[in-house]
Amino acid sequence: MQSVHYPLFKREDLDGFFALFQNNLANFVIITITMLAMGYPASIVYGKVIPGIAIAVLFGNLYYAHMAKKLAQKEGRTDVTALAYGVSTPVMFIYLFGVLKPALTITGDPELAWKIGLAACFLGGVIEILGSFIGKWVHSRLPRAAMMGALAGVAFAFIGGELFFRTYEMPVVGLIVLTIILIGLITKKPMPFKIPASLFAIVIGTFLAYSIGSSSPAQIKEGFSAFGFYLPLPTFGVFHGLQLLSSEMMGLLAILLPISIYNFIETMNNVEAMASAGDRYNVQEAQAADGTGTIIGTFFGGVFPTTVYIASIGSKWMNAGRGYSILNGFVFLFASMFGIIAAMASIIPVPVIAPILVFVGISMISQAFDSVENKHYPAVVIAMFPYFANYIMTRFNIAAGEVVSNLSQAIVPLGQGAMFTGLVWGSILVCLIDEQYKRASVFAIIAAALSASGFMHAPRLALNLSSEYALGYVLVAVMLMGFHFLYAKKSPSA
């Protein structure tokens, strides 16, 4: 190990900080606005969730600054860039609409729903730590098209689709903001004065909303009243949440497992991307750090997993060091403790933020196709379908169950465990496209087991060996094995 002077802060860290700050700030504001709109009270959002996430972000940023110093000393370099760290955007939306929303809908109690969120986040952190041991094994066996397609289904229905509706709640404001977002983030055109597109859109949209009377000045007053002191306090609500999650909310495991797998694979991919830029960090250590940060956050009220950002590459290009990471962690802790994020969430109208989420939905769906081979596109598409049923089920079945049933009696069971259903059918189709019929039959057997145990097509976990769905998947498995033997000579790879 060589002794080098690796600076705590340098001028380039300021550019890196602003880039990372904008990314994290957008997520914090989105979390705040969305949870309040769902029905979570400000006392939970401002007083528990936001400070808890800030603690997790502080831990991760400090740890990654430490890792950067270790790497600099090990390789005798001063140009090492710390990994960027924060709440994973795709995972954040899955937790918002796949965990916190259904938990609140089912329990009707924000306090209990928050505790379930704590438990889900805690388990996500545990899975991410375990991913440091099995991540590469899972990555090699679960078809990427299936995983990305299932997540794209969530993005299409709950993120892009639903937030497109919200965009039109203030047509003049929403359409202007959406256009700015599409120009700045999709076509990559610079905004006036080189202001980041999302920031420019929020400023213009908010100004327009108040100028034409779509938003009341009372919201500004309410926003300033949100300033206060929200000290991050330890909580053991995660243990009560684990009890709830192990009983009536067990079905949420259908979402937790694949999204947690996605999270630690995202960490692995982003760390490997940094290695291609010259900074070779230990992947397993980074995955363990992400999981640890997530778990620490749950003991202070946080309900969202954290991860390495793909924005790490951008920081590397800016020649940032470790100071930008340290500064980011402390600034967000300060902003959450004094209600700055709460104030911004009250002042900015939802239709101003909604187009940014539409872009997130577009980017997630586009990424699902960009990250797989062209021949696997159909697998991405079929993996998306179950979440269309899940959207109809969660949004309309309670208020208009008869209407949903008249549309199709299969909507509710197809929507139950939609993430697993999407993963299974996406995996089966990938195998069929690749002429791997024996492997496809294995996924069908897995689907039968998930159906018989209640993970799929059932309201709760319960052993039901007579399930028609389980029988159907078993017959599919048998048929696929028949095709395996039928095409054995023609398809040696099967």
State both tokens at 181: 């977002």
Average pLDDT over residues 267-290: 82
Distances (CA, A) of 386 to 149, 241, 393, 420, 429: 10, 27, 11, 9, 14
Q: What is the DSSP string of 381-434?
A: HHHHTHHHHHHHHHHHTTTSHHHHHHH-TTHHHHHTTHHHHHHHHHHHHHHHHT
**pLDDT tens digits, one per residue of 74-120:** 998 989 999 988 887 767 877 888 889 888 988 899 999 999 999 99
pLDDT at 92: 84
Averaged pLDDT for residues 467-472: 95
H or E element at residue 92:
helix 89-95
For the chain, the domains span 11-367, 374-486
pLDDT tens digits for 390-444?
888 877 876 778 888 898 999 999 988 887 899 899 999 999 999 999 999 999 9
Say yes or no to pLDDT of 139 above 70: no
pLDDT of residue 341: 80
CA distance 144 to 367: 11
pTM (2 decimals)? Answer: 0.72
pLDDT at 227 over 50: yes
CA distance 89 to 420: 21
Q: DSSP 3-state assignment of 189?
A: coil
DSSP letter at 8 equals S
- For residue 77 the two structure tokens come to 């370099």
Q: What is the pLDDT of residues 296-340, one digit of tens each?
A: 999 999 999 988 876 677 678 778 889 989 998 998 899 889 988
Contact (Cβ atoms closer than 8 angstroms) between residue 432 and residue 451:
no
DSSP string covering 252-280, please?
GHHHHHHHHHHHHHHHHHHHHHHHHTT--
Q: Is 229 exposed, middle or buried (0-12, 13-18, 19+ CB in 10 A)?
A: exposed
Compute the average pLDDT of residues 2-9: 81
Whose CA is closest to 284, among 178, 134, 151?
A: 134
Higher pLDDT, 247 or 300: 300
Give the range among 146-160, 457-471, 480-494 with minimum mean pLDDT: 480-494
Q: What are the pLDDT digits (tens) for 330-383? A: 988 998 899 888 787 778 888 988 888 788 788 778 878 887 899 999 999 999
* Predicted confidence (pLDDT) at residue 153 exceeds the cutoff of 60: yes
Residue 141 has pLDDT above 80, yes or no: no
